[in-house]
């Protein structure tokens, strides 16, 4: 069930409940021997809607008129409400032996027995509050783990290599088109790379007209040097949770690419690189569908950064800006648009020639898949579907109104 709550969200008074300070939370999580990472099952659906507000979630379908008794996906205040509820449930445990960020719960301990006893207390609290966990996504008694894009362990806080894996495994270009695409990507950050023109010289000589394409040792050194610059400071930085995030995304015939970053002193720095190969069905999508699909992929990939933050999306497909206000698009497009309703999104146009980074990621001839292969989610999972037990008292009135009949 996918409901269009755009008009309801516009009329809703926004709940600005603050999310935890990420930097402080990561510092508290670091330097422990054992961890347990728990995941709330279909989080929003576990929070009840007060009876007087249930009618606001009313929707019609071929089987009748229904309303939600639990918070559905797509409401703009759902993330803030869920975070407030979780902090209330675990109030006396937070910062002592567990941390909570939305539906991700991290339990820690200085020893195996200490972590195990802390886990028992957390699970007991979950049982008391009827909070259901997704056991398939839970990890118990581990020495390290990924939390909000950072690797946490007894060693401290480290950078998650998945952020730069797409670039670090990049193969050398095999033709002039590949050279132009790579240089366009690197050139976007040339202000951060000292002696950029000198380093790129062997690669630019391959673009000279009527010259044989020979990728020699000198070109390999230049390519590896520039590739190393792309995955190191000051280009790649840690997120600043007080600034808005920016996403550059693009789609090609075979893949999609996205870059998460932030603008500091009018300069865009990278936080995360991501790309994904399209499956045969997705390759047949129309251009507009592919461009919206890459947005869905980016927000799913970077979700831990996006929640509670302002997000600016740059795309070279101007039609996307108007899709968010249309109500007669294809069901697939509407479903994706509604999937993004929980985020504070602003879409801005950017010409293809200015979107070189995402364009390069989406057109790489060799894209290395991550160790855990996850398909792009272009539809709601079964766990997001609610079972409707009863119908509201105003069902018949809504039915008459939908038929434009006024008794």
**Residue 320 has what pLDDT?**
74
Give, as one character, the DSSP assignment of residue 63: T
**b/e per residue, 360-397, with b = 16+ CB within 10 A?**
bbbbbeebeeeeeeeebebeeeeebebeeeeebeebee
Share of residues in the chain with pLDDT > 70 (%): 78
State whether residue 2 is helix, strand or coil. coil
What token pair was written down for 396?
């018949």
Give, as one character, the DSSP assignment of residue 62: T
Give every CB contact of residue 174 below 8 A, 6+ residues apart in sequence.
Answer: 215, 365
Highest-pLDDT range among 20-24, 118-122, 327-331, 355-359? 118-122
pLDDT confidence tier of residue 385, bands split at 50, 70 and 90:
very low
Strand partners of residue 39: 104
Please report the domains of the chain, with CATH numbers, ordered by start residue: 5-159 (3.30.70.270), 163-232 (3.30.70), 236-406 (3.30.420.10)
Q: In 3D, which of 286, 273, 289, 305 has the Cα closest to residue 370?
A: 273
Measured between alpha carbons, how far is 397 from 213 in angstroms, rounded to an integer?
Answer: 73
- 13-69 pLDDT tens trace: 888 787 777 777 888 888 899 999 998 887 788 889 999 999 999 988 888 899 999
Strand partners of residue 263: 268
**Residue 107 has what pLDDT?**
95
- 138-153 pLDDT tens trace: 999 999 988 877 788 8
Highest-pLDDT range among 29-38, 295-304, 376-385? 29-38
**Residue 365 has what pLDDT?**
47
Q: How confident is the model over 337-356, as a mean pLDDT?
A: 71
The pTM for the full model equals 0.56
């Amino acid at each position: 069930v996918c409901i269009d709550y755009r008009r309801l969200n516009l009329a809703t008074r926004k709940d600005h409940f603050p999310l935890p300070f990420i930097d402080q939370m990561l510092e508290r999580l670091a330097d422990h021997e054992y961890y347990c990472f728990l995941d709330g099952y279909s989080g929003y659906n576990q929070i009840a809607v007060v009876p007087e507000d249930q009618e606001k979630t009313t929707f019609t379908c071929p089987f009748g008129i229904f309303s939600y008794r639990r918070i559905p996906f797509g409401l703009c205040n759902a993330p803030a409400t869920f975070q407030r509820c979780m902090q209330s449930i675990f109030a006396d445990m937070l910062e002592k032996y567990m941390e909570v960020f939305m539906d991700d719960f991290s339990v820690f301990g200085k020893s195996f027995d200490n972590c195990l006893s802390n886990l028992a207390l957390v699970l007991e609290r979950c049982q008391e509050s009827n909070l259901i966990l997704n056991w398939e996504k839970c990890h118990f008694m581990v020495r390290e783990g990924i939390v909000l894009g950072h690797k946490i362990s007894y060693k401290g806080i480290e950078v998650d290599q998945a952020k730069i894996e797409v670039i670090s495994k990049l193969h050398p270009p095999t033709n002039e088109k590949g050279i132009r695409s790579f240089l366009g990507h690197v050139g976007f950050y040339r202000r951060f790379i000292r002696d950029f023109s000198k380093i790129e010289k062997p690669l630019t000589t391959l673009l000279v007209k009527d010259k044989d394409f020979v990728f020699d040792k000198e070109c390999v050194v230049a390519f590896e040097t520039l590739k190393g610059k792309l995955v190191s400071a000051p280009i790649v930085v840690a997120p600043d949770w007080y600034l808005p995030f920016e996403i550059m995304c693009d789609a090609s015939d075979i893949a999609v690419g996205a870059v998460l970053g932030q603008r500091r002193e009018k300069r865009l720095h990278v936080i995360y690189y991501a790309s994904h190969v399209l499956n045969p069905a997705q390759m047949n999508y129309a251009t507009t569908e592919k461009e919206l699909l890459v947005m869905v992929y980016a927000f799913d990939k970077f979700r831990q950064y996006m929640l509670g933050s302002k997000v600016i999306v740059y795309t070279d497909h101007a039609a996307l800006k108007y899709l968010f206000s249309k109500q007669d698009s294809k069901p697939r497009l509407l479903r994706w648009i509604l999937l993004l309703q929980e985020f504070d999104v602003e879409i801005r146009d950017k010409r293809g020639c200015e979107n070189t980074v995402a364009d390069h990621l989406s057109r790489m001839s060799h894209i290395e898949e991550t160790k855990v292969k996850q398909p792009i989610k272009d539809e709601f999972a079964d766990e997001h579907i609610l079972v409707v037990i009863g119908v509201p008292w105003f069902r018949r009135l809504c039915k008459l109104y939908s038929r434009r009949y006024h008794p």
